[in-house]
Chains A and B, each alone.
Chain A
Amino acid sequence: MATTGWTGKILRVNLSSGSITTEDTLKYKEFIGGMGIGYKVMWDEVPEGTHPFDPENKIIFAAGPLTGTGVPCSGRTNITSLLPTNPYHAISDSHMGGHFSVRMKYGGWDGIIIEGKASKPVWLRIENDDVTIEDASHVWGKGIFETNAVLTEEMGKEAVVAAIGQAGENLVNMSVIINGASHSAGGHGGVLGSKNLKAIGVNGNQSVGIAADRKEWLELDKYMMSLIGANNQHVVPNAPQPWAEYHNPGSRWTGKKDLYWGAANPPVETGECDPKDMNSVGLRTQKAVFDHGEVAEKHTVRMGGCHSCPVRCHSQLHIPKLEEYGYSANVTNTCVGYFSPGAVMINGIYDQDEDNTRTEGAMITRGLGAQLADDYGMWCNYMQLGRDFLYAYENGILEKVLPEEEYNSIEWDLLEAGDPKFLVDFYRRLAYKEGELSHLGDSAYWIAKRWDFGDDYWNDAKYGLWSPLGFPRHHSNETAGQVGAVISCMFNRDAQCHTHINFTGSGLPIDLQREIAGEIWGSPEALDPPADYTPMNEYKAKFAKFSIIRNILHDSLTLCNWMWPMVLSPLKERGYRGDTSLEAKFFSMATGYETSEEELDLAGERIFTLHRAMTMKQMGTMDMRNKHDLMTDWIFDADPEEEPFTPGTVKMDREDMELAKTLLYKEMGWDETTGAPTRATLERLGMGYVADELEEKGFLPG
């Protein structure tokens, strides 16, 4: 019998030998798909001590059983490999939306394992069962947009191409893999570059089947769609609406009367977007005005986004002024994809307003920068690039470390004038590794070491470093206090977890949020009011664990964690409750493996724990508490006049954060002293073999 949900096949391509083989997906069933498959392959096959750019490193592109089935917001691709920006080159995953993994599944593949290194530039062409390694000399050295056009022309217009730009080719640590014009996965571009693999093109005409009856499936889809909100699962509108009991200015549900996609022909009004109207779900999130302010309304052609997603979170803009810089007037991206190049303009932007973010100039700068970064394939380490540049600039480091000739060749006058043209030169230097300045692309940890940054770099909140391992805050202590803080300590880069921020950012009143938090995590104490924190408790640990586990499940199934889980809904008649069992229901119906919410969560725990074990091996320690789960000082030393847990401050307390770690370790069944998984836990998760290996290496706690 054919598998459903999964296609049942994983492709393995060895670029050194040219061998192309097929494997059974179901041997990874316990790891679901996506991230889970990625971690398992890496655990089994890539020994510690491997450098990300060694041929021995592997990179896994994987979809999950829900990818391609059409479950709302299921267009994500998970990429797993060693991470060059991490000081230990520890395992990490990068993810992209778009259409890649979906098209890969229609080609009949759940995943692609790439190993070895090609002797010359190649690209991988996948059309159903037809898989070939092709010469890439005609696209090597080219940007991502052109590469995409050339390879799509060769494969056919429905093909989807994931490619690296010059940054990945040149082994820049901070480089991305992109599919489509704007769907980027951060951190692993150089791994493809090191393998001489320019791109992977996928196409196919097969189906993804489901086990369930179609009527049941469509009913569940309809139910899920009744619970969906706007981007980030914000469930109340941004401004008062006739249908809405609540509103919140932080909400991405910006749709309202008299708001338009102003550059559409004719302009399309978002309208009031009543939650019950299924034909306006994609109009709720007018992301251009959310990201850029009102100036962007008239430039908005429409929203865009990923396959199967009714919530369109990428804004697609037409900005004629961009042509003056030699770039297309048409640009698409979202959120940090736009903000990050804006943040590289560390002296502000020429027409800056008080907060330098809502002007025409800011939008133009971001539109230009987004195209540059996406074409070269540069990553930003979640906006850290601009802050690293800022530190070096304002501390006079660049004058010291750059050779005089190079220093004088940089267009400082443009930077000082806030002229976005500066970005054209800046990104080129980084992507081509031109000169000393380009080491900014090595990323925070490495550049701080190379240029000898002071302690203030790490410990001043201004530079945003969360971890001494070189990654920034990303929905950290400012999001639900210890919950966001402890989540931010668990991975080998910024946590990329949105479960908790989606909940706290939903826009609902705090009492209602706390009531619902109580229903899910055992007590309203799981969530403190904003900027009015209390000490750590076990319910916060449960909230943190749930957030991580679901995030990991989403990256395995694959679903978008910027939308899922559906903890909340916009429906007043449901008391704004969503349904946390939906992932398990869709999983069961797609695969035919009847799986409860608890059972699926256990798979998430398994995957997260394997990530932990792999990281321990790579770091050569079991003392994760003191070697890995670290925070910089500003988190505790901000607001020097204030005590932690007093209204108005989000600073953390050192002892309390150690307790936060302890309680999360306890929830995970990890050793409470070291934070290393115990044998009992590993066996409970069906990973006795992991316990054996850790024990052999001396990393298994007591």
Chain B
Amino acid sequence: MEGEERVGFFKKDISRRKFLKYSGRGIAGGVVSFSVLSMLTGCDDTAQITGFPLAAGILISDKSRCTGCQRCEIICTMNNDGKAHPHISRVKVARNYNYGAEGVTNNYEEGEGHFGNFIIEPDTCHQCEEPVPCAEACPMDAILAQEESGTRIVKEEDCVGCGACEANCPFNMITIDPEESKAKKCTLCDGDPSCAKLCPTGALKLVPWEEVNAKLKKHRFQLS
């Protein structure tokens, strides 16, 4: 766990702003570099974790810890929609729960999911930076970038529920609410995601900047 080796390209005294910018240049938008994640979680396997920098900290999704309770889906929709409605949840676990993202395979006993090797991946919105497939597909231009939070949000009054965004999202994240005919998309709850706050195993977790800073410090790097 030597700092130099683990944090690689990080420079000493890197500012938080720079950090945000830098880490925001991963694949498909605001993905935190793996080396930082590995430092924060102790996880060596790149396939296990993803992270997004938010105003309040880094949102980590760690599939080695997800137990498939799906409380995140319920809390998401209770918080955002006032109902329990996993279908429109902005974090998606149910679809990966039984047989993993691939669904039933001939070798399901060894594949992902509850009927396999028990690995369950919580899917979260990638908040794509450029291009933004859902926004590009929207004929009403109802999906807008929110600069300060780094999220893309649906302007509900403009949304007609046509489903173009849903069809165009490469990650199958944005979803049309069949009861309201509106697109439902992750807004990261204004920087304080309710799913992460209440995840009972920390599979989704918001690591506050202070903690990120402290850990980086420990590894001889600073976020100023």
Contact = CB atoms under 8 A, between A and B. Distances in A.
Given A99-B97, A206-B178, A207-B179, A268 B200 contact: no
A209 interface: yes
Interface in B76-100: 77-79, 81-88, 94-99
Interface of B: 42-45, 48, 64-71, 74-75, 77-79, 81-88, 94-99, 103-104, 108-110, 114-119, 178-179, 194, 197-202, 205
Nearest to A204: B87
B80 to A, nearest CB: 9
A268 B69 contact: no
A569 interface: no
Contacts of B75: 70, 218, 221
Given A218-B78, A312-B201, A318-B118, 13 more contacts: A70-B78, A149-B99, A210-B83, A214-B79, A217-B78, A218-B79, A218-B194, A266-B48, A279-B200, A302-B64, A302-B66, A304-B67, A330-B116
A106 B64 contact: no
A152 B69 contact: no
Interface in A278-306: 278-283, 301-306
A148 interface: yes
Contact of A157 (B82, B99, B117): B99
B69 A207 contact: no
A207 B75 CA distance: 13
B154 to A, nearest CB: 18
14 contacts: A72-B71, A106-B85, A106-B87, A148-B115, A266-B43, A281-B201, A282-B69, A283-B201, A304-B114, A310-B71, A312-B201, A328-B109, A330-B110, A330-B118
Contacts of A156: 103
Interface string A213-253: 11001100100010000000000000000000000000000
A303 B96 CA distance: 16
B197 to A, nearest CB: 7
A268 B202 CA distance: 10
B114 A180 contact: yes
Given A70-B74, A158-B98, A266-B44, A149 B104 contact: yes
Interface string A138-169: 00000001001110110011111000000000
B78 to A, nearest CB: 6
B45 A305 contact: no
Interface string A256-275: 00000000111010000000
Contact of A268 (B64, B78, B85): B64
A261 to B, nearest CB: 8
Contacts of B78: 70, 210, 214, 217-218, 221
Contact of B103 (A157, A225, A305, A328): A157
A307 interface: yes
Contact of A208 (B64, B84, B88): B84
A278 B42 contact: no
A286 to B, nearest CB: 12
Nearest to B74: A70
A68 interface: yes
A306 B69 contact: yes
A266 B64 contact: yes
Given A153-B103, A157-B98, A214-B82, A318 B202 contact: no
- When A and B form their complex, which 4 residue pairs have the shortest distance between CB atoms, in order from nearest? A70-B74, A282-B200, A207-B85, A310-B200
A308 interface: yes
Nearest to A154: B104
Given A206-B178, A279-B205, A316 B118 contact: yes
Contacts of A160: 98
Contacts of B205: 279
A310 B201 CA distance: 8
B146 to A, nearest CB: 22
A308 B87 contact: no
Contacts of B70: 307-308
A332 B84 contact: no
A173 interface: no
A330 B113 CA distance: 11
A157 B95 CA distance: 6
B177 to A, nearest CB: 8
A259 to B, nearest CB: 14
B115 A145 contact: yes
Contacts, number: 164
A439 B108 CA distance: 34
Nearest to A266: B43
A69 B84 contact: yes
A306 B42 CA distance: 28
Interface in A79-135: 99, 106
A312 B114 contact: no
Contact of A266 (B42, B108, B201): B42
Contacts of B64: 264-266, 268, 302
A280 B179 CA distance: 34
B153 to A, nearest CB: 19
B191 to A, nearest CB: 18
Nearest to A69: B84
A280 B205 CA distance: 11
A152 B95 contact: no
A70 B42 CA distance: 31
B37 to A, nearest CB: 12
Contacts of B74: 69-70, 308
A68 B73 CA distance: 11
A208 B77 CA distance: 10
A687 interface: no
Nearest to A161: B98
A309 interface: yes
B86 A152 contact: no
A626 interface: no
A38 B87 CA distance: 28
A414 interface: no
A152 B99 contact: yes
Nearest to B205: A279
A49 B194 CA distance: 54
A328 B115 CA distance: 10
A651 B86 CA distance: 50
Contacts of A218: 75, 78-79, 194
A72 B69 CA distance: 10
A225 to B, nearest CB: 7
A158 B114 contact: no
Contacts of B198: 225, 278
A261 B142 CA distance: 44
Contacts of A309: 69, 71
Contacts of A72: 71
A181 interface: yes
B178 A205 contact: yes
Nearest to A269: B42
B171 to A, nearest CB: 16
Nearest to B76: A70
B84 A158 contact: no
Nearest to B115: A181
Interface in A570-585: none
A217 B194 CA distance: 14
Nearest to A284: B200
B69 A312 contact: yes
